[in-house]
Amino acid sequence: MPSVYDAENFSGRVSLAASYISQRHDSSRAFDACFEMYDGHAVSVALYRRAQKDLHGPLAANLWRYLRQDIIEPRAAENAHRKNLTAWARELRAEGEREMAVIRAEMEARNAARREA
């Protein structure tokens, strides 16, 4: 079974987060990782959509104990046109990785300049 630490395991991370929320588990490193692969927006929208399918189920009942309703509902509305959340998650991860590469390069340049000074 793929790990939640595998960035390509979007559906597995959504399922793990849904399980934690539905069962009201305490947060854990694995739960946090579900949102930390640069695609947390897509994970939260996927959880919201699942909860909307069963408004009386445990996921819907507990969702706002874990996520911020004032952030997630507008994000879900803004992205209602997205049918393939896995593809969006992949786009978000690529964007996040590009941004981190820029930050790393800037840090390396600053460190090199300090060493030369």
Between 61 and 5, residue with greater pLDDT: 61
Does residue 43 contact residue 13 with C-beta atoms inside 8 Å? Answer: yes
What is the per-residue pLDDT across 8-29, written as a single tens digit (0 to 9) for each? 999 999 999 999 999 999 999 9
Per-domain residue ranges of the chain: 10-116
What is the per-residue pLDDT across 56-94, written as a single tens digit (0 to 9) for each? 999 999 999 999 999 999 999 999 999 999 999 999 999
Q: Does residue 110 register a pLDDT over 90?
A: yes
Instruction: Return the structure tokens found at 60.
Output: 């819907």
Between 92 and 117, residue with greater pLDDT: 92
Number of Cβ within a 10 Å radius of residue 109: 10
Q: Does residue 1 register a pLDDT over 80?
A: no
